[in-house]
Structure 1
Amino acid sequence: MRLELLLRFEEPFIIPYNYPHPLYSFIIHAIEFGDPRIARRIHNNKKDIKFVASRMFPVGDREKIENGLLVRSGEVELFVSSPAWPVLEALINGLALGRRRLHILGKRLLDAEVEHVETPERLSGRKLTTLSPVNVYHNNPPNGFRQWDLSPAGQPNSPFENEPEVWKELVFENLKAKYLMVYGGSYEGDFEIKILTKMPKSKRFFIKRDEKTGKPIYARAWEFHFKMWGEEEFLRVAYDLGIGMRNPHGFGMVGIYGHRNPKKGTF
Structure 2
Amino acid sequence: RLIISSSQKEILQSIAENLVKTEKFYIGKNEVFIESINVLPQPVFRGKLIIKMLSPITCYSTLKKADGSKKTYYYSPFEQEFPLFIKENLRKKFQLIYGRDNDFEFNISPYRVSARDEKIIIYNRSSTDRGTVIKAWMGFYEISGSPRVLKLAYDVGLGVKNPQGFGCWEATSVE
Shorter-normalised TM range: 0.7 to 0.9
Question: Which of 10, 13, 19 is residue 95 of structure 1 equivalent to?
Answer: 19
TM-score (norm 1): 0.57
Query: What is the total number of aligned residue pairs between the two structures?
Result: 170
Alignment RMSD, CA only?
2.5
CA deviations 1:125-174 (Å, max 9, x no partner) are 12111121112112333464310111111xxxxxxxxxx22111110111
1:127-146 equivalence runs, <5 A: 127-130=50-53, 131-142=56-67, 144-146=69-71
CA deviations 1:53-89 (Å, max 9, x no partner) are xxxxxxxxxxxxxxxxxxxxxxxx1222111011101
- Distance in 1 (CA, whole Å) between partners of 2:137 and 2:101 is 28
- Distance in 2 (CA, whole Å) between partners of 1:110 and 1:197 is 34
Give the CA deviation at 1:240: 0.5
Q: Which amino acid aligns with 2:18?
A: G
Question: Which of 179, 201, 205 is residue 121 of structure 2 equivalent to?
Answer: 205
Give runs of ≥4 in structure 1 deviating > 6 Å. Answer: none
Give the CA deviation at 1:199: 2.3
In terms of Rg, which structure is larger? 1
Identity, in percent, stands at: 20
- Distance in 2 (CA, whole Å) between partners of 1:230 and 1:193 is 9
- Residue in structure 1 matched with residue 40 of structure 2 by the alignment: 117
**CA 1:84 to 1:129, structure 2 compared with 1: closer, same or farther past 3 Å?**
same
CA deviations 1:149-203 (Å, max 9, x no partner) are 11111xxxxxxxxxx2211111011101111222222244332212112524211
Question: Which of 208, 221, 229 is residue 136 of structure 2 equivalent to?
Answer: 221
- Distance in 1 (CA, whole Å) between partners of 2:40 and 2:30 is 27
Question: Which of 93, 98, 105 is residue 183 of structure 1 equivalent to?
Answer: 98
**CA 1:145 to 1:108, structure 2 compared with 1: closer, same or farther past 3 Å?**
closer
Question: Which of 133, 144, 147 is residue 232 of structure 1 equivalent to?
Answer: 147
Give the CA deviation at 1:106: 4.3
- Residue in structure 2 matched with residue 151 of structure 1 by the alignment: 76
- Distance in 1 (CA, whole Å) between partners of 2:91 and 2:58 is 17
1:27-42 equivalence runs, <5 A: none
Equivalent residues of 1:176, 1:187 under 8 A apart: no
Give the CA deviation at 1:229: 1.4
Unaligned runs of 5+ in 1: 1-76, 154-163, 260-267
**CA 1:110 to 1:223, structure 2 compared with 1: closer, same or farther past 3 Å?**
closer
CA deviations 1:20-54 (Å, max 9, x no partner) are xxxxxxxxxxxxxxxxxxxxxxxxxxxxxxxxxxx
- Give the structure, 1 or 2, with the largest relative contact order (CA under 8 Å, sep 6 or more): 2
Equivalent residues of 1:179, 1:187 under 8 A apart: no
CA deviations 1:195-233 (Å, max 9, x no partner) are 1125242111111269xx955211011112111111110
- Residue in structure 2 matched with residue 52 of structure 1 by the alignment: none
- Distance in 1 (CA, whole Å) between partners of 2:17 and 2:113 is 42
